[in-house]
Structure 1
Amino acid sequence: MTAPLKDIRVLDFSTLLPGPMATLFLAEAGAEVIKIERPGRGEEMRSYDPKWGQDSANFAMLNRGKKSLALDLKDPAQRARLIPLLKDVDIVVEQFRPGVMARLGLSYEDIAAINPEIIYCSITGYGQSGPKAARAGHDLNYIGDSGLLALSCGRPEAPVLPPALIADIAGGTYPAVFNILLALRDRDQTGKGAHLDISMSDNLFPFMYWAMAEGQTTHQWPGNGDALVTGGSPRYRLYPTSDGRFVAAAPIEEKFWQAFADAIDLPDDLRDDTHDPAATAQAVGARIADKPADHWRAAFERADCCCTVVQTLQEALQDPHFQSRGLLEHEVENTDGARQIALPVPVAGQFRTAPHAARAPTLGADNDLAPQATPNTGDTE
């Protein structure tokens, strides 16, 4: 196995989720990641519940294998301790609102002046420019502003929140990582660094390729839950079972639809779902609701028709398929020596070290990486 980023050093000024997950991916590919944290409490994620050892379980998951340097960035003397590191670091990741790093004297221009090859990645909700650039927001705001949330947000009497922080991870983490890798490749060719402007809201539009295509072509824009992949078709829905579980039915193609219809014994006069989609969906729902999840799990395994029973996360972690893939072999260890499954990362196995247990850093554990300058006393012999 090789670690393609083993010679890469990262200074990570980010907190919470998008940036820390991005630098986790880089660390898992061999990069040395040094978190810059405020003294005393460290980054906010350390205090989250549930606690696991000294810090939170969330912090342990996202910061496995990193280092920690505790500095008060508002103190010029402490900030100056970063200069030796900044001279030979490869990547800076920051997640403040636009202008904050500049006020600290740590903007891209400030750092590029001492290290022209720096790759400086700024992750924000709305980007470094534009009318909303300075606006506060969280994941729900970004998916709401981009139009993504409106495509499937439940009924007014029962709004549905997405089960994942889509903007943070898919709009922030993933674009940050692949643009950093692109910048590294470009630097190999040109010798030049780059400032990467990663906007979580900007990066949500690829998820709506189908809605953009449909709306612009037909001038009939998809609404809330009325399109093929958002619940507007009987062929792509969640159907409750008799024991309170759900079937994830996705037999879109005709061959899968017919196999699905056979498996649930759908009457022939309802198999043409273009005639009366609502009636077909109602009949499918009634058939699924008549039997428990175990019945349908076996039936759909035989039918192989793009239908499954929705698993809980606990069930997924015990699924022989994911276990056989080696997805869950890496571990994270806390300060008490307890271990649990580490967060799986999308780094191909050949680019990671062998499965092992690693810890998130204790606050300031690596302060020796930026020692204080020795005072010049002016003594003479």
Structure 2
Amino acid sequence: MSGPLSSLKILDFSTLLPGPFASLLLADMGADVLRVESPSRMDLVRVLPPHDQGVSASHAYLNRNKRGIALDLKKPEAVQLVKQLVQDYDIVLEQFRPGVMDKLGVGYEALKAINPRLIYVSITGYGQTGPYKDRAGHDINYLALAGLASYTGRRDSGPLPLGIQAADIAGGSLHGVIGLLAAVVQRQVTGQGQQVDISMTDCAFSLHAMAGAGYLACGVEPAMENQPLNGGSFYDYYQSRDGRWFSVGSLEPQFMQQFCAALGRPELAARGLSLRPEDQQALKREIQNEFDKRDFADWCERFAALDACVEPVLSLAEAVEHPQLQARGVVTDVPRDSAEPQRQIACPIRFSAGLDTPRHIGVSVGAHTDQVLTELGYSIEQIAAWRDARVIA
């Protein structure tokens, strides 16, 4: 393996989305990721539809380029194997509720005693401290408690359930990778590892980059459709005559002038400068009236030549075929056991030195158990005995 992170060796105990998406990015960038799963408690993403040749497409994507080992951490022999592995795999990524890994004997303090260079990244809903640390939650709950849902939506219909998992990915996955890599850099200087505590709610709260700054410094409370970028201005979506949608982000005067000229209403451009909410709502009605006069294809043709921050809302199928996304190579073919590779989302980070092509899709539970234990020096007989004792799978 090559790539900018090829020197990193990571034990990944996570399941579902946040941890696996984080370790996917790391594996794509060359890290050696060894996924540790329970032989009896399945990661539910493995059964998440839709399925391609009997395998969950989500699992195949989220776990590509990773090896897999199955250990029953309730067995002392399995715990000893983990302790042996962290002498080499000196980064741990886990997503259990606080205290679970400690009870299993593989918490930060226990593993740090074996390898002081250990970096231990814990991704949870609410963090390792606080009254909610043991509370269950999902993406929608973290966004709600962090205050983001309070001004994301429409006044007449309420908060919007997002099509993506923003707290899971932007909160848990991306901040988890940032924290992990920051700890690696510090370890290069100090020689010491540390635990990285990632709360998806904390990280979601940090996404209040603009509205949150305004509230904390000036006391301006954001609400639905009262901010320039959340529907409180002409910066919004508009529906064409045939029911399709367009995004209009023509905030700067030069863009607004082009946009209004394309609408056939150049006089509207000056009204975009008004800060009065009632003026903005009236302007939005005027813009929508113009969109009502033409079909999606007509507007696409009219806006195609403009550099005015106006783009059609594409379906996923249309986005895959868009020339810009095709030119950027956002889709890649990933090998698998069958003859045909599987199409997947490519790593979005570009390096001038390039990245290796993907090696394989997500593997079955314990696919590399024998290989990993052989690398640790165990004999075929020892491995077979542990399998018979259900220590491994």
Given residue 271 of structure 2, which amino acid in structure 1 is its aligned partner? Answer: D
CA distance in 1, matches of 2:155, 2:304: 32
Given residue 292 of structure 1, which amino acid in structure 2 is its aligned partner? Answer: D
2:267 paired residue number:
268
1:296 lines up with 2:299 in the alignment: yes
Secondary structure at the residue paired with 2:132? coil
Given residue 180 of structure 1, which amino acid in structure 2 is its aligned partner? Answer: L
CA distance in 2, matches of 1:269, 1:73: 66
Candidates 286, 310, 314, aligned match of 1:307: 310
1:172 paired residue number:
172
For residues 269 and 87 of structure 1, do their structure 2 counterparts lie closer, same or farther at Cα, with a shift above 3 Å needed? closer
1:127 paired residue number:
127
Secondary structure at the residue paired with 1:11? strand
1:5 lines up with 2:8 in the alignment: no
Secondary structure at the residue paired with 1:303? coil
Given residue 110 of structure 1, which amino acid in structure 2 is its aligned partner? Answer: A
CA distance in 1, matches of 2:268, 2:310: 22
Secondary structure at the residue paired with 1:97? coil
Equivalent residues of 2:268, 2:283 under 8 A apart: no
Given residue 239 of structure 2, which amino acid in structure 1 is its aligned partner? Answer: P
1:153 lines up with 2:156 in the alignment: no
1:5 Cα shift? Answer: 1.9
- In structure 1, runs of 5+ residues without a counterpart are 376-381
Query: Any residues of structure 2 matched to 1:213-252 within 5 Å, and which?
Result: 213-234=213-234, 236-252=235-251
CA distance in 1, matches of 2:291, 2:317: 24
1:335 Cα shift? Answer: 4.1
Secondary structure at the residue paired with 1:192? coil
CA distance in 1, matches of 2:157, 2:6: 52
1:258 Cα shift? Answer: 1.4
Secondary structure at the residue paired with 1:317? helix
Equivalent residues of 1:21, 1:62 under 8 A apart: yes
CA distance in 2, matches of 1:363, 1:109: 28
After TM superposition, the score normalised by the length of structure 2 is 0.89
Secondary structure at the residue paired with 1:342? strand
CA distance in 2, matches of 1:46, 1:170: 22
Comparing 10-19 with 287-296, which one deviates more in the overlay?
Answer: 287-296
1:345 paired residue number:
347
CA distance in 2, matches of 1:161, 1:154: 12
For residues 33 and 169 of structure 1, do their structure 2 counterparts lie closer, same or farther at Cα, with a shift above 3 Å needed? same
1:290 Cα shift? Answer: 1.2
Query: Any residues of structure 2 matched to 1:320-359 within 5 Å, and which?
Result: 320-328=323-331, 330-350=332-352, 352-356=354-358, 358-359=360-361
Equivalent residues of 2:2, 2:356 under 8 A apart: no
CA distance in 1, matches of 2:268, 2:191: 67
1:287 paired residue number:
290
1:158 Cα shift? Answer: 6.2
Equivalent residues of 1:13, 1:93 under 8 A apart: yes
For residues 45 and 136 of structure 1, do their structure 2 counterparts lie closer, same or farther at Cα, with a shift above 3 Å needed? same
Secondary structure at the residue paired with 1:358? coil
CA distance in 2, matches of 1:351, 1:129: 41
Residue-pair matches, total: 373
Query: Any residues of structure 2 matched to 1:58-77 within 5 Å, and which?
Result: 58-77=58-77
2:391 paired residue number:
none
1:87 Cα shift? Answer: 1.4
Equivalent residues of 1:331, 1:358 under 8 A apart: no
Equivalent residues of 1:241, 1:290 under 8 A apart: yes
CA distance in 2, matches of 1:364, 1:77: 16
1:379 paired residue number:
none
Equivalent residues of 1:51, 1:57 under 8 A apart: yes
1:319 lines up with 2:318 in the alignment: no
Comparing 344-353 with 132-141, which one deviates more in the overlay?
Answer: 344-353
1:357 Cα shift? Answer: 5.2
CA distance in 2, matches of 1:172, 1:62: 14
Given residue 261 of structure 2, which amino acid in structure 1 is its aligned partner? Answer: D
Comparing 60-69 with 359-368, which one deviates more in the overlay?
Answer: 359-368
Given residue 346 of structure 1, which amino acid in structure 2 is its aligned partner? Answer: P
State the Cα deviation string for residues 104-134 of structure 1 (Å, max 9, x = none): 0111100000011011000011110011111
1:322 Cα shift? Answer: 1.3
State the Cα deviation string for residues 22-47 of structure 1 (Å, max 9, x = none): 11111111111111111146422111
CA distance in 1, matches of 2:156, 2:93: 39
Secondary structure at the residue paired with 2:229? helix
Aligned residues: CA RMSD: 2.1
1:105 paired residue number:
105
- In structure 2, runs of 5+ residues without a counterpart are 383-393
Equivalent residues of 2:240, 2:291 under 8 A apart: yes
Secondary structure at the residue paired with 2:204? helix
CA distance in 1, matches of 2:87, 2:266: 72
Equivalent residues of 2:329, 2:346 under 8 A apart: no
